[in-house]
Amino acid sequence: MKSLKEQIDPKKLPAHVAIIMDGNGRWAKGKGKFRIFGHQNGVNTVRKITEAGAELGIKYFTLYAFSTENWSRPQFEVKALMELLVDTIGKETPTLMKNNIRLQTIGNREDLPAKCNRQLDETIETTKNNTGLTLILALSYSAKWDMINAVKAISEKVKSGILDSNSISDLTINEHLSTAAYPHPELLIRTSGEQRISNFLLWEIAYSELYFSPKLWPDFTPEDLYAAIYDYQNRERRFGKISEQIAEKA
């Protein structure tokens, strides 16, 4: 009997998988520990899932690591998360190099502590020529924040006459979002059983397949990633068309 991984069709892989890593706090609470213990264990899952995705041949992973709304968590949790981020990125840079992974970020980097930005800049620079998986961390990110910035930039161009408002299209919006350099995710995974989008990539997931796993993020394994991808590969993506039109094209 073939393993789940072996059943995945390498020709039908999603190029871009986005993940809402949810459930660290509940995982820790269930073990009678502080929430940060959940985040620390969440880092292990980030490492395992990133390596598994890179090995499969996924080209882009976007991980929702810290949302605009997460700033309103208790200050000690925010501080601990920022420290964990600096520490993890620093320690994991050799692993990123070993696995040919390029690090990128989306989100409002101005809000992050200087130390965090220094480490991110350093690792982004070190990994910039890697050609395998691109790992995009969404940090101080929210889709509405991104869309507001895009609208502001587009209206400035219209105001100064660089852009004709009648020519604004789908592409214009794409080009002004912080995700402009990446394809839109074909698959969005959320862990922990919650079934919502929480202000993540709202424009980019217009036609993404959504997959909700009941597992809390620290318990999510490469096998669970394979299950999500296998499920995705067995769905029919119609993009507003009918089944027969999709069958004709195939």
Catalytic residues: 22, 70
Which of the residues 112 through 171 are near ligand FPP (CB under 6 A)?
137
Q: Does 23 sit near ligand FPP (CB under 6 A)?
A: yes
Q: Which member of 56, 85, 154, 228 binds ligand FPP (CB under 6 A)?
A: 85
Is residue 60 within 8 Å of residue 17, measured between CB atoms? Answer: yes
Beta-carbon count within 10 A of 248 CB = 8
Q: Does 46 sit near ligand FPP (CB under 6 A)?
A: yes
Beta-carbon count within 10 A of 91 CB = 11
Beta-carbon count within 10 A of 136 CB = 25
Closer residue to ligand FPP, CB minimum distance, 13 or 63: 63
Q: Which member of 17, 22, 120, 208 binds ligand FPP (CB under 6 A)?
A: 22
Residues across the chain: 250
C-alpha 81/C-alpha 108 separation (Å) is 16
Q: Does 14 sit near ligand FPP (CB under 6 A)?
A: no
Structure tokens at 226: 């394979």
Piece in contact with ligand FPP (CB under 6 A), picked from 2-10, 19-27, 119-127, 228-236: 19-27
Q: Does 107 sit near ligand FPP (CB under 6 A)?
A: no
Q: Are strands 60-67 and 134-141 parallel, antiparallel or unpaired?
A: parallel
Q: Which residues bind ligand FPP (CB under 6 A)?
A: 21-26, 39, 42-43, 46, 63, 65, 70, 84-85, 88, 137, 192
